[in-house]
């Protein structure tokens, strides 16, 4: 199975901050990397698919980049509604696997 490692596991930030979350795959997954956001008690929501494609309705302050084994989710200017847990997921090969999550908290 392909292992997905996210860092950091948690971070504290303020509204307006630029936030970067990284995800590393145990082998090359080309661009088959997705990002999800989950708020407490809610189902996850897709933010970005195929490394950098923004899902419909997702604010443009979210962006993704990377290729091969190293990927990044960036929030250009953190908003109150962005405090949540973020997960990366590889879909290069089955079984699909998620990273352990990054909890973004208010500083």
Give the interface with other proteins as residue ranges (CB under 8 A).
1, 32, 34, 36, 38, 43-46, 49-50, 55, 87, 89, 91, 94-101
Q: Between 13 and 54, name the residue whose CB sits nearer to other proteins.
A: 54
The whole-angstrom separation of Cα 17 and Cα 70 is: 22
The whole-angstrom separation of Cα 69 and Cα 85 is: 21
Mode of pairing for the β-strands spanning 4-7 and 19-25: antiparallel
Q: Report, in Å, the least distance between residue 14 CB and other proteins.
A: 25
Q: Between 17 and 83, name the residue whose CB sits nearer to other proteins.
A: 83
Q: Report, in Å, the least distance between residue 75 CB and other proteins.
A: 19
Q: Could you tell me the CA-to-CA distances from 57 to 26, 37, 47, 72 in Å, in that order?
A: 31, 13, 9, 20
Q: Report, in Å, the least distance between residue 34 CB and other proteins.
A: 4
């Amino acid at each position: 199975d392909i292992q997905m490692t996210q860092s950091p596991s948690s971070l504290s930030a303020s509204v307006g901050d630029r936030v970067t979350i990284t995800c590393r795959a145990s082998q090359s997954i080309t661009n088959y990397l997705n990002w999800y956001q989950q708020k407490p008690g809610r189902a996850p929501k897709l933010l970005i698919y195929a490394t950098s494609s923004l899902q419909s309705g997702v604010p443009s302050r979210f962006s993704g980049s990377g290729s091969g084994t190293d990927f990044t989710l960036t929030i250009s200017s953190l908003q109150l509604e962005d405090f949540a847990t973020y997960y990366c997921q590889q879909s290069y090969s089955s079984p699909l696997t998620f990273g352990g999550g990054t909890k973004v908290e208010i500083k």
